[in-house]
Amino acid sequence: MANGASNVLDRFRAGDLGAFEALFHEYQRPVYAWILRIVRNPAAAEDLTVETFWRIYRSRGRFEPHLAFAPWARRIATRVALDWLRTRRPEVELTPEMACTLPSVSARDPGIAAEIREKTVLAFARLPPNLRAAATLSVVEELPHKEIAAALGISVGAVKLRVFRALRLLRTELEKQGITP
pLDDT of the residue at 104: 46
Tens-place pLDDT, residues 114-123 = 777 788 888 8
pLDDT of the residue at 111: 63
Q: Are residues 15 and 67 in the same domain?
A: yes
End-of-domain residue from the set 43, 58, 87? 87
End-of-domain residue from the set 87, 116, 142? 87
Q: What is the CATH number of the domain that holds 157?
A: 1.10.10.10
pLDDT of the residue at 3: 58
Q: What is the CATH number of the domain that holds 55?
A: 1.10.1740.10
Q: Are residues 46 and 122 in the same domain?
A: no
Q: Are residues 83 and 100 in the same domain?
A: no
For residue 44, which of 5, 77, 7 has the smallest C-alpha distance?
A: 77
Enumerate residue ranges in the chain where pLDDT < 70: 1-5, 89-112, 181
CA distance 158 to 155: 5
CA distance 15 to 65: 12
End-of-domain residue from the set 87, 106, 124? 87
**Domain with 15 in it:** 2-87
Residue 33 in domain: yes
pLDDT of the residue at 107: 46
Query: CA distances (Å), 10 to each of 26, 27, 56, 58, 96, in order?
Result: 16, 17, 14, 15, 43
Residue 181 in domain: no
pLDDT of the residue at 65: 81
Residue 135 in domain: yes
Residue 20 in domain: yes
pLDDT of the residue at 23: 95
Question: Which residues have a Cβ under 8 Å from the Cβ of 141 and sit 6 or more positions away?
Answer: 37
pTM for the model stands at 0.68
